[in-house]
A and B are shown apart, each in its own frame.
Chain A
Amino acid sequence: MTPPTSRPLSPHLTIWKWGPHMLVSILHRLTGNALSVAGLALLTWWLLAIANGASAYEQFATVAMHPVSIAVLVGLTWAFWQHTFSGLRHLFLDMGAGYELKTNRLFSVMTIVGALFATAATWFILMGVNR
């Protein structure tokens, strides 16, 4: 079965005025896939390192404490909160609520602001507790 080649595309990305809901939708997919790949690889490595003994954990900790890794961990924390908040938004939308323009816009903006705030709070607590 060959896919049709000369069919016109309906204009989608180019003609819409950008709104927060579009950004949140794209971020949901982006953060979800980042967490799936990098987040789960890290979780698996972390659990195996704990299970495999002191030197294995030492190896993990050395890599994880590198400044670049800390940046990745902060990024994943943000990805987690962004995906969580926008996931909650999706669960509300799935129930048929929150489609009014102003409500939709407000909830979209709230997921972005909430995720940034929650990421900052998470690392504030993590660094305070473990230093």
Chain B
Amino acid sequence: MSAGKSATPLGKVRGLGPSGHNGAHWIEERFTSIGLLLLSLWFLFSLMMLPALDRDTLVEWLRSPAAAVPMALFVLASFSHSLDGMKVLVDDYVHDEGNRVATHFVLKMFAIAGGALSLFAIAKIAFGAA
């Protein structure tokens, strides 16, 4: 992003900083962490409270919207928060800008692919196709 002579003070600082973006990523990481705190505890306690962990029990459980919806949210928050966190690791250790952007890209593709596969699986179970 270039800041020419006509840029406003805000336009000049946007996209700067050591990470190339402002505090939005940091805030987003905190937001998803609070969401994940609730959703991951829900996930773990649900598993512990199920009578068994065989497939029939799990399918029946995930057919209920009360399980399928939080599970989908858990998947979304997990992949989003993981991507945020792994980007921080990359930012700290990959110093070359080209490599850094390329690594971010690969991580994002993996996160989107994994998230999409998981959501598809949940939908297939929830809509009775499994």
Contacts and interface: CB of A to CB of B under 8 A. Distances in A.
Interface of A: 1, 3, 29, 32-33, 35-36, 39-41, 43-44, 47-48, 50-54, 57, 80, 84, 87-88, 91, 94, 122, 125-126, 129-130
A130 B114 CA distance: 28
B117 interface: yes
Contacts of B53: 130
B89 A91 contact: no
Contact of A84 (B37, B86, B96, B121): B37
Contacts of A41: 114
Contacts, number: 80
SS class, residues of chain A in contact with chain B: helix
B73 to A, nearest CB: 13
A50 B37 contact: no
Contacts of B125: 47, 50-51
Contacts of B118: 43-44, 47-48
A91 to B, nearest CB: 7
A91 B34 contact: yes
Contacts of B44: 80, 122
A43 B82 CA distance: 13
